[in-house]
Amino acid sequence: MRKNIIRLISGQVWKQSLQNKGILFLLVLLSCIFVFAAYTGWKNYSVQEEIRAEHQHEVRQQWESKPDKHPHRMAHYGYLIFRPRYPLSFFDSGLERYTGNSVFLEAHKQNTANFSEAGFSSGMLRFGEISIAMILQILVPLFIFFLGFSCISAERENNTLKVLLSQGVKWKELLTGKMLGLLSIASLLYFPVIIVSVILWLSLTGFKVSIDEVTRLLWIILTYFGYFFIICLVCVLVSATSKTSKSSLIKLISIWLLFIVIMPRAAQAFGSYTHPAPSKIDFDTRVESELIKAGDSHNPDDIHYKGIKDSLLKTYKVATVEELPFNYSGYIMAEGEKISAGIYNKYWNEQLRIYEKQNNVSTYLSFINPFLAIRNLSMALTGSDFNSYVSYQEQVEAYRYKLAQLMNKLQMENISNKKQGATDKPYTISKDHWKEMPDFRYQFIGQKDLFKNEISAILSLIIWGVGLLFLIHFISKKIKIY
């Protein structure tokens, strides 16, 4: 292929597009929407993180300022954790509005994240939140289709296609030039968005960036550019194989509706139908039923825990629990916590396997639909996908279990086994012990696990790009002028 011919054709697309007042109007309109989405995303992240940091600090202060207490009372007093957001989530909020942002931790009970923004919003949120990623994924492809639906079909209708080919222009050069012209117009809109996103990201982090964030941002830039490359290829191929611009436009709009509107919702509905998940009430009921069978650590006459008591007395060769070298109640509470956590984790993992099967429908369809691939990969890179939420829940549960067991350990080591009289002062330990529990530190999913989770999305985009290039090579030999 001759580079000068390709450059000439792409330059013609660029010139004709910018001379079209309708295209200029759409560029201005999309730019305004981008500015609005960038500002609201940045503002929402700033406000939410400021509130989260303030309340998390307040919760920690309240925990450490509690007076001398019995450790088990502190375990039931509980602790509140607010979910931090990844700095790049202002770009793509993903599931952030739906998954909740705080979890209350207490002994013997696991709670899920509550107080999602969707729960306090109007029904309009079901139509999707305006974000930079949403515009790039949904509106920019529509803009490219509108821009290029007639890029070749119009040449055929005006009989200029025959003139071009008769002058020595090859089909492959024509298709490549048109595609690069469309991509350059899309880039005119895309790269300013990236520049603004980088500036907003730096302002959110106070210009203190990490290697993880930088590499994720680079992957975001690359994947969206690849997505637009695929969209431009689709547009050029449809226009080249359509006899009229009208039929080309109808086909492209149908593709947009199928890929971006119909298939994502159908995949979600089909996944929920084929792999129904228990409701929260059903889940809690199953866990509670299993806990009842396992015994009650707060009941001294429970058969299961009486067996543990007899085993301890035999092991330490004593007659009563008062003679044990540690607090017996604290030991029983620790055993009860271990049993209840094991039961909860068993059912929680079963629930996750069902959710994974539901999500696999969308994952497999991403090989057919590049929109699903870019959507899943974008949410993963910005830390706002389902896997990030699951990782958060698992880390919170690990922290809750550690907190409960620390209180049980303090009870075992510092509380006497001697029974209290009616006038005795309640057993307590110094409040200095409350500081022994480190504050919660959420670790975002590493990039190795991230790409492992989204390997299907990555392969989908690669297959689409390579496949369309091969299709252009094949069609350029068989396509007809008329």
Question: In this structure, is residue 421 part of a structural domain?
Answer: no
Domain assignment present for residue 300? The answer is: no
The listed range with the strongest mean pLDDT (75-79, 224-228, 292-296, 351-355) is 224-228
Is the Cα dihedral 236, 239, 245, 249 positive or negative? negative
pLDDT confidence of residue 422? 64
Average pLDDT over residues 413-421: 81
Is 352 within the bounds of a domain? no
What's the mean pLDDT in 213-235? 95
- pLDDT of 120 reads 40
The whole-chain average pLDDT of the chain stands at 88
Number of domains into which the chain is organized: 1
pLDDT at residue 116 is higher than 70? no
279: in domain: no
Write out the DSSP string of 383-397: T-SHHHHHHHHHHHH
Give the pLDDT score at 473. 84
Is residue 361 included in any domain, yes or no?
no
Residue 180 φ/ψ, nearest 5 degrees: -65, -35
pTM exceeds 0.75, yes or no: yes
Of 119, 89, 357, 126, residue with least CA distance to 213: 89
Give yes or no for residue 474 having a pLDDT over 50.
yes
pLDDT of residue 292: 83
Whether the per-residue pLDDT at 118 is higher than 70: the answer is no
At 429 the three-state DSSP class reads strand
Residue 381, in any domain of the structure = yes
Give the pLDDT of residue 124. Answer: 42
pLDDT number for residue 119:
43
Q: Would you state the pLDDT for residue 153? A: 87
287 found inside a domain: no
Structural domain boundaries, residue 227: 3-274+366-416+431-475
Q: Would residue 243 count as lying in a domain?
A: yes
* pLDDT, tens only, 172-196: 888 899 999 999 999 999 999 999 9
Q: Which long-range contacts does 193-201 make (Cβ < 8 Å, 24+ apart)?
A: 193/34, 193/38, 193/132, 193/136, 194/221, 196/34, 196/35, 196/38, 197/38, 197/91, 197/132, 200/38, 200/41, 200/42, 200/90, 201/87, 201/88, 201/90, 201/91
